[in-house]
Homo-oligomer: A and B are copies of this chain.
Amino acid sequence: MKNNLIEKIVYEISKNTSLTQKTTQRLLNNLIKDQDIFNNFIKNLDTLKTQVSMCCICNYYKIDKKCIICSDESRDQNIICVVSNQLNVDNIEKNNQYKGLYHVLDSEINLNKNVSPNDIDFESLFKRLSKSKELILALNATFEGELTANYIYHETKKLNINVTRIAKGIPMGGSLDYMDESTLIDAFKNRKKYEV
């Protein structure tokens, strides 16, 4: 390909964001083809850029000056749920069940990528815990997520706080044929009375 300008832009965007080069190419292709869509896309980004930032308490998105979670006084101020990133909060909020606060780490301990505990701002979490009664660990059930959960658990031992973690088990629609050993062990351990 000799379109070096497009190639360069695809490479840069893909390097800096979560998009693959293929997805970036498709996105840019759609934008170039339609000026209206392109203008609208840029307008939306501008709105996002000027109005959205991160909450200085929980690190979730805030629009203008307020984070909708931290500023909601009806929520239980005694429970903090730790998640890896902002999208996790969106996912949990969709269910409309959890009514406590959040803390977004925006990272996980990852030895392969040289992310050690020192590279993550755990201090702002630990500071908040002095006023809390329960800390829910809702981190990914991956090696990195477990490592991070483990670190937080050990660091908060000295605090007088109830540390829980969300249940592991068979996900909805999951087939036992394809479930790994550790999930099955957890699913059996955490079995509940069958109720209809």
Contacts and interface: CB of A to CB of B under 8 A. Distances in A.
B38 A27 contact: no
B27 A54 contact: no
Contact of A93 (B2, B13, B19, B26): B2
A61 B7 CA distance: 12
Q: Determine chain A's interface SS by DSSP, over half rule.
A: helix
A41 interface: yes
Q: In the assembly, how many copies of this chain are there?
A: 2
Interface residues of A, number: 48
B61 A41 contact: no
A17 B33 contact: no
Contacts of A37: 16-17
Given A26-B18, A26-B87, A5 B63 contact: yes
Contact of A27 (B17, B32, B34, B47): B17
B12 A44 contact: yes
A28 B54 CA distance: 13
A42 B12 CA distance: 12
B3 A16 contact: no
Interface of A: 1-3, 5-6, 9, 12-13, 16-19, 23, 25-34, 37-38, 40-42, 44-49, 51-54, 61, 63, 68, 85-87, 90, 93-94, 106
